[in-house]
Amino acid sequence: MAPRVFPESVRRMQASKSMRLRHELWHYVRAVWGNPRFPEQGRQLLRELGWALPGGREPMDANGSLQFDNRAGEDFLYMHRQMIAMTDRALAAAGEPPITRWPSIPEPGDSDFPVPPAWAYADPAASPQDNAATTRFLQFIKADAYYERTMRVRERFLTDPANLRRLSLGALGNLAEFTIHNAMHMRWAAEPKGYRPPLDLGDPASGDPIWDGLDHDYLGDTYSSHLNPHFWYLHGWIDDLVELWADVNGVRTIDWVGDWTGGPDLTAPTEPAAEPAVEMAALATAAAASVADRPVRPGPALAALLRSSAMPSTLVEITRLQEGPG
Ligand SMILES: [Cu+2]
């Protein structure tokens, strides 16, 4: 059976600029916040926008090592759990059952979820060497051997009750995000229709509307990944880890500490996506203030600084850095 495609009403909600930007910015902030190369002005700008990461909840420390005792992994599990709940509500409103979840990660040769082939990565904003390295990374992560030597091993580790008993929920979330979730995104990503320019922190809501269409569902970009049918299968699998963990540890009600879902909606109030905006408001934390109340403009100096800092901040960059092939 082909991966399930949601009704257009649901896909329209997911394709709204509001939801796209929220998902992208949420991942972006967590990627850059603790990086010593991220300029302090950038952090200040995010604070002013209401998008500061709650204190001490960087997924990685300044050296890029995963942090297991600061609940950052809870943020990851919690935020995506809210996305699933929102989508399940939209599906119910359209008369459809909740998202379908992968009970286990599809093996090589799975006829329902074949791994799309690697392609020659050709981001016009990257150097030829960089594109070649990303192409090698795609070949590496999509190979059967990657599943057999790495992904399956990690799946077994993360679902083993003995391990789940030893891990806090935050540690589990962080391990899941960076050892298997990012890799699943890239393994099941298909060649995109084009290469979207990265987030412009100076004007987050800007960007060519061609990237907002229903057909922009590239799994390797947090701006579009949730439009891709695979997103819900793989995040369903991740979300089930939470239940498995709770079960194994006899936890009946999870007392979430890491519950950061991002800041206010930064899309212009004139956005036509009125309904999704209402839904998204439920995700915004202390989000009463809108950008209009806080006319923040970073100026060209910060924009140039952010560009030149060249930190890994996108899903492709982070996963390539972590997974190799070296
Ligand atoms: Cu995400």
Kindly give the distance from the C-alpha atom of residue 80 to the centroid of ligand 1, in angstroms, as a whole number.
Answer: 6
Nearest CA to 56 out of 40, 73, 75, 71 is that of 71
Kindly state whether residue 297 falls inside one of the protein's structural domains.
yes
Kindly give the distance from the C-alpha atom of residue 9 to the centroid of ligand 1, in angstroms, as a whole number.
Answer: 21
Kindly give the distance from the C-alpha atom of residue 27 to the centroid of ligand 1, in angstroms, as a whole number.
Answer: 7
The interface pTM score, or ipTM, of the predicted complex is 0.97
Q: Which of 113-122, 153-162, 222-231, 316-325 has the lowest mean pLDDT?
A: 316-325
Kindly give the distance from the C-alpha atom of residue 21 to the centroid of ligand 1, in angstroms, as a whole number.
Answer: 11
**Share of residues in the chain with pLDDT > 70 (%):** 87
Kindly give the distance from the C-alpha atom of residue 54 to the centroid of ligand 1, in angstroms, as a whole number.
Answer: 18
Q: Which of 34-43, 77-86, 200-209 has the lowest mean pLDDT?
A: 200-209
Kindly give the distance from the C-alpha atom of residue 33 to the centroid of ligand 1, in angstroms, as a whole number.
Answer: 16
Kindly give the distance from the C-alpha atom of residue 231 to the centroid of ligand 1, in angstroms, as a whole number.
Answer: 9
pLDDT given for residue 309 in this prediction? 65
Provide the CB-side half-sphere exposure for 48 (13 A, CA).
17
Q: What is the pLDDT of residues 53-87, one digit of tens each?
A: 999 999 999 998 999 999 999 999 999 999 999 99
Kindly state whether residue 2 falls inside one of the protein's structural domains.
no
Kindly give the distance from the C-alpha atom of residue 238 to the centroid of ligand 1, in angstroms, as a whole number.
Answer: 11
Burial of 7-33, coded b for 16+ CB within 10 Å and e otherwise, reads eeebbbbbbbbbbbbbbbbbbbbbbbb
Kindly state whether residue 1 falls inside one of the protein's structural domains.
no
Kindly give the distance from the C-alpha atom of residue 23 to the centroid of ligand 1, in angstroms, as a whole number.
Answer: 6
What does the pLDDT average to over 46-51?
93
Amino acid identity for residue 308 in this structure: S
What does the pLDDT average to over 266-273?
62
Kindly give the distance from the C-alpha atom of residue 325 to the centroid of ligand 1, in angstroms, as a whole number.
Answer: 23
Range of 121's domain?
8-317
What does the pLDDT average to over 217-237?
97
What does the pLDDT average to over 122-144?
96
Kindly give the distance from the C-alpha atom of residue 222 to the centroid of ligand 1, in angstroms, as a whole number.
Answer: 6
Kindly give the distance from the C-alpha atom of residue 24 to the centroid of ligand 1, in angstroms, as a whole number.
Answer: 8
Q: What is the pLDDT of residues 86-99, one digit of tens each?
A: 999 999 999 999 99
Q: What is the pLDDT of residues 297-308, one digit of tens each?
A: 556 666 666 666
Specify whether the CB–CB gap between 322 and 178 falls below 8 A.
yes
Kindly state whether residue 323 falls inside one of the protein's structural domains.
no
Specify whether the CB–CB gap between 45 and 302 falls below 8 A.
yes
Kindly give the distance from the C-alpha atom of residue 235 to the centroid of ligand 1, in angstroms, as a whole number.
Answer: 8
Number of domains in the chain: 1
Q: What is the pLDDT of residues 180-191, one digit of tens each?
A: 999 999 999 999
Q: Which segments of the chain does DSSP mark as H helices, in order? A: 8-15, 17-32, 40-48, 72-93, 128-142, 144-146, 152-159, 161-166, 169-176, 182-187, 229-248, 274-281, 299-309, 315-323
